[in-house]
Amino acid sequence: MIGTRLSMQSPVPLKIGVLGIAFLFSFPAGYLLWRNFTGDTSSLKLLNKSQVLSPLQRSLILSVAVSLTTALIGIVLAWLTTRCDLPGKRIWKIILPIPLVFPSFIGAAAFIRTMNPGGFLNGLLNKIGIDNVVEIRGFFGAWFVLSLFCYPYVYLPVAAKLRHLPSSLEETSRVLGYSPRKTFNHVVFPQVAPVLGAGTLLVFLYTISDFGAVQLLRYDTLTRSIATSQLANKSLSLALGLFLLIIAGIVVFAERMISRTSISSDQKSIGPPLKYSLGAWKLPSFLVVSLLTLLSLGAPLFTLSKWAIDGLRRGSGNGHPLTLNVQQVWESTWNTLSISVIAGFVTILAVLPIAIVISRYKSKVGNLAHSLVIATFAVPGILIALSMRFWSLQTDWAYNLFNNTKALLVFSYVVRFGSLAMGVVLLSVAAVPNNLQDAGQTLGVKRIPRFFRIYLPLMSPGLGAAAGLVILSTMKELPITLLISPLGFSTLATRMFSSFEEAFIAEAGILAVILVALSSILTWMLVIRKSEHL
Amino acid sequence: MKHPTKIKRLTTNIFKIALIATIGFFLSSCGDEKKELEGAAKDIFSGECVNGTDASIVIYSGRSENLILPVIEAFECETGIKVDTRWGSSTEMALLIDEEGNKTQADIFLSRSPGPVGYLDGKGYLAPISSNILGGVDERMRSQNATWVGFSGRQRVLVYNSDEFSEGTLPSSIFDLTGADFKGKVAIPGSNGSFIDWFTILIDQYGDETAELWINQMVENGARYYPNNRSIVEAVGRGEIAMGLVNHYYNYKISAATGAEHKASNYVFKDNDIGGTLIISAAAITESSQKVSEAEEFFMYLLSTQVQTYFTESTYEYPIAAGVQPNSALPELEAFEIGSINFDSLGEGFENANRIIESSGILNQ
């Protein structure tokens, strides 16, 4: 059912469009290549050092561990909330994606402050006689915190897929007498596996590029080496950046090889997906999901709210006044909201042609563009920001046109987060049954109207979810916002970061609480409301 | 498929949000002119603002908005010169100026310490500052190349948990921290800019071998790595670790924010020990700036009595300009005699310092 379609060549305008998009996405990679091979020293030689190898090893170990954990959490949550009679399903749908919005540094800080010696929860546990709580630091800390904040990368696309799966195969399996578990293993899992793989890959790449959490939790990875060598030994930091990109490229390529046959699907969705009763497992499942939410959302939110409330109290008493006024808060909130929604929207427009090309046609260009978009996710934000600056300064017209504009900022976000949208968009495109297209073709509807009348309405829930992923990530983005935004443009995340770094904890808490509230509303509007699909 | 109307509504919603966002996006750029200042800026200048002029400058600030914005607002109000600011870490701002080269928009770079300005100076991106500004500060607080001027200072101190140690049990020199009494007790912010700057000074004063020996012995003695000053002061206050090497002012701010539950105090090493070096915030003008006179006007403002007083009273920093008294809550400054240090060598010594720190293994403790 796939073969005939995929052998078709893509239409030339589409191909050119995809090439153009691939070109735009190649800016960071191009920058790293340029800087590494045109400098005075051949910087790749610097990599042959033990100070590079052990951080690299730690980066890889951590990324694999977090990937596996989030894959497990993601698939279990997706299964429970889409296919089982878990109590409070609507609420979970809104709550479960939210942890994605915590900038990793503030999430990590909240955990350190709560769970470690002298912290609130630590004190509580001491009182009931537990006094050797595991300290949140090092490998354990980084694994724990990143897993809690990254699982939505897996959960969201897998849940989407599970809601789309046709019930027919599962019904057949049940009729043939297979247990629900066997049905899951042999029927459901193989269909979900490619999406699971793609989501897990994102977690892997994100973990590799994360700096905020690993530095606070004191796990010495490659991003730390990049950060500390930036001024002291710039060529080393650039070589490391390229190195990360190469690793990402290899991993992405491997993932493509494994899942390439199964991305496109031509199944018709017949009836609502099959539901399973949890029976005696209802309460335990509910407790597990609650515990997870308590850890990934409740605990950090509790700490951040406490900072905020303490600060507000202090501000209204005679203590130190807050260094934040209402107008600044409003301005940052508005900037955060508008720029992230626009970035989400533009990202969808950018990755949609790639998704169409690889799921409908046989296209080398499409596959190349896809790999480039995904692998770029492993490049730390600061290097993406510098690359954008670099390229926009190469010609006068680009400089005059883009310098100090929000357009360049949005473009940078799109390049940074295109990978997040890619998987879900691909899924939505593949979910449009080919026979509908055939019907449209037979009825003589031209390609472009066909797209707007047939494709877009069918894809829109998935596209909304993809935009949601990008929006939540843009809202917390730091280095690109700091370096690329027009002068004087602040977001909640940038203000939160500068407050926090200078120990203005109350201010950071207030901004963080607003960020979480804002993201909950957006998740509800874009991803959840009135959509049974995601 | 099942709910075409719902899907349609969702699509409309997405468009609606995008539309609202786009409109607001452009509206949000227009701010309204203020005639009088509010909040902390009012403490610096309480008069009526002059009419805005055409003059404007661009600042890349590695010092946080919370600290510097009131100063900028007061400056705009008092002089009518418009200021556009990019906020970020000093490292990020230095990297950005390096990338932008002569096309940078920045007229001024404010750095947390001499390291990042030294980096840019070494690449020739900084312009000399006129001598009437440089003359406003002690010669130890400015560049010998005239490329930057200090505007506030933070002293390196040992922050300690007051439940675990008392002042009398603390060592007089940083070199004594390698002793058995402090095994597993000391936090070091090995990757932090201020610490690396300080370590560069240590190398400059005592040589590679002594500096390397010290940090290696600290690692052997179970020193623990933390990424920055703030996280150390916070951890010491909770009792997670007994003490740490930090800049002095975080403890004041965190105490003010969290009150009595924060059990940390600052300790200054004795007898002008190098452990008590003053780390200076530095201001520089870019080589490509066309607005040198406005930029210098801003520097004069930074060093004016009212701004220097604001720094010390509100942010607990040490004033740099001659004649301004430090906040009464701060101990009298007996900082390490820094007159002999050529701060401009910091830029060059940076890489060496980083290499020694990294190979000591502290970053993975």
- Interval B107-147: pLDDT, tens: 999 999 888 898 899 889 999 999 999 998 888 888 888 99
Percent of chain A with pLDDT over 90: 32
Q: How far is A271 from chain B (nearest CA, A)?
A: 9
pLDDT at B340: 47
Q: How far is B78 from chain A (nearest CA, A)?
A: 20
Mutual orientation of helices A12-25 and A364-375 as an angle, nearest 10°?
20
Cα–chain-centroid distance for residue A233?
A: 30
Pick the CATH number of B154-277+347-364 from 3.40.350.10, 3.30.420.10, 3.30.930.10, 3.40.190.10: 3.40.190.10
Question: Which of B:274-293 have CB within 8 Å of A?
Answer: none
Instruction: Tell whether the model's pLDDT for residue B242 goes beyond 50.
Output: yes
Choose between A163 and A20: higher pLDDT.
A20
**Could you give the 3-state DSSP secondary structure of residue B338?**
coil
Q: Which two tokens stand for residue A392?
A: 């926009």
Number of domains in chain A: 1
Residues of B in contact with A324 (CB under 8 A): 66
Reference A409, options B227, B261, B86, B302; nearest CA is B86
Question: Which of A:286-345 have CB within 8 Å of B?
Answer: 310-311, 314, 319-321, 323-325, 331, 334-335, 337-339, 341-342, 345
Question: What is the CB-side half-sphere exposure of residue B110 using CA atoms within 13 A?
Answer: 25
Task: Give the pLDDT band (50/70/90) at residue A449.
Answer: confident
Residues of A in contact with B117 (CB under 8 A): none
Q: Kindly write down the DSSP assignment for every residue of B204-247, as one continuous string.
A: HHHHHHHHHHHHHHHHHTT-EE-SSHHHHHHHHHHTSSSEEEEE
Percent of chain A with pLDDT over 70: 87
CB A217 within 8 A of CB A138: yes
Give the highest mean pLDDT range of A297-311, A350-364, A415-429, B166-180: B166-180
Evaluate whether B39-153+279-330 and B154-277+347-364 have a shared fold: yes
CA distance A231 to A214: 20
Residues of B in contact with A481 (CB under 8 A): none
Question: Which of B:156-175 have CB within 8 Å of A?
Answer: none
Distances (CA, A) of B66 to A498, B86, B311: 8, 13, 11
Q: Which two tokens stand for residue A422?
A: 């890619």
Least confident segment among A156-160, A343-347, B262-266: A156-160
Measure CB to CB from residue B92 to each of A382, A393, A500 and give the nearest one.
Answer: A382
Least confident segment among A127-131, B135-139, B191-195: A127-131
Reference B227, options B119, B89, B96; nearest CA is B89
Measure CB to CB from residue B3 to each of A335, A504, A532 and give the nearest one.
Answer: A532
Phi and psi torsions of A169, nearest 5° = -65, -45
pLDDT at A287: 93
Measure CB to CB from residue A487 to each of B85, B103, B257 and give the nearest one.
Answer: B85
B29: Cβ–Cβ under 8 A, 6 or more apart, which residues? none
CA distance A15 to A430: 18
**Interface membership of A510 toward B (CB under 8 Å):** no
Mark yes or no for CB contact B6/A224 under 8 Å: no
Question: Which of A:429-488 have CB within 8 Å of B?
Answer: 456-458, 460-461, 463-464, 467, 479, 482-483, 485, 487-488
CA distance A203 to B60: 33
What's the CATH number for B39-153+279-330?
Answer: 3.40.190.10
- Interval B318-348: pLDDT, tens: 998 888 889 988 888 765 555 446 666 666 6
Question: Which of B:248-267 have CB within 8 Å of A?
Answer: 250, 253-254, 256-258
Measure CB to CB from residue B21 to each of A323, A338, A499 and give the nearest one.
Answer: A338
**Closest residue, chain B, to A271 (C-alpha):** B2
Measure CB to CB from residue A457 to each of B7, B96, B226 and give the nearest one.
Answer: B7
**Interface membership of B225 toward A (CB under 8 Å):** yes
AA letter at B202: L
pLDDT at B34: 52
**Closest residue, chain B, to A212 (C-alpha):** B227
pLDDT at B251: 92
Choose between A468 and A6: higher pLDDT.
A468
Give the highest mean pLDDT range of A308-312, A380-384, A394-398: A380-384
Q: How far is A520 from chain B (nearest CA, A)?
A: 15
pLDDT at A263: 47
pLDDT at A87: 87
Q: Give me the mean pLDDT over the A335-352 stretch.
A: 94
Measure CB to CB from residue A338 to each of B1, B8, B25 and give the nearest one.
Answer: B25
Block residue for tokens 């150390």: B232
**Interface membership of B6 toward A (CB under 8 Å):** yes
Phi-psi sector, B289: left (phi>0), alpha (psi -120 to 50), beta = beta
Reference B98, options B115, B121, B114; nearest CA is B121
**Closest residue, chain A, to B187 (C-alpha):** A218
- Interval A248-303: pLDDT, tens: 888 888 887 776 544 444 455 556 677 777 777 888 899 999 999 999 999 899 98
Longest dimension (CA), chain B: 80
Question: Which of B:316-335 have CB within 8 Å of A?
Answer: none
Mark yes or no for CB contact A215/B227 under 8 Å: yes
CB B45 within 8 A of CB B21: no
Choose between B300 and A49: higher pLDDT.
B300
Q: Is the dihedral of CA B350, B351, B354, B360 positive or negative?
A: negative
Q: Which domain holds residue A236?
A: 8-36+44-307+326-528
Mark yes or no for CB contact B351/A233 under 8 Å: yes
Q: Give me the mean pLDDT over the B14-40 stretch.
A: 63
**Interface membership of A507 toward B (CB under 8 Å):** yes
Q: How far is B129 from chain A (nearest CA, A)?
A: 23
Least confident segment among A184-198, A338-352, A403-417: A184-198
Residues of A in contact with B69 (CB under 8 A): 323
Instruction: Tell whether the model's pLDDT for residue A132 goes beyond 90.
Output: no
pLDDT at A4: 42
CATH of the domain at A19: 1.10.3720.10
Tell me B321's DSSP state.
B
* Domain segments of chain B as ranges: 39-153+279-330, 154-277+347-364
Q: Is residue A318 part of a domain?
A: no
Task: Give the pLDDT band (50/70/90) at residue A305.
Answer: very high
Task: Give the pLDDT band (50/70/90) at residue B178.
Answer: very high
**Interface membership of B240 toward A (CB under 8 Å):** yes
Instruction: Tell whether the model's pLDDT for residue A37 goes beyond 70.
Output: yes
Q: What is the mean pLDDT of chain B?
A: 87
Block residue for tokens 């090092």: A138
Q: Kindly write down the DSSP assignment for every residue of B38-95, as one continuous string.
A: -HHHHHH--SPPPPP-S-EEEEEESS-HHHHHHHHHHHHHHH--EEEEEE--HHHHHH
pLDDT at A266: 46
Distances (CA, A) of A1 to A433, A434, B126, B309: 11, 10, 65, 76
Choose between B25 and B40: higher pLDDT.
B40
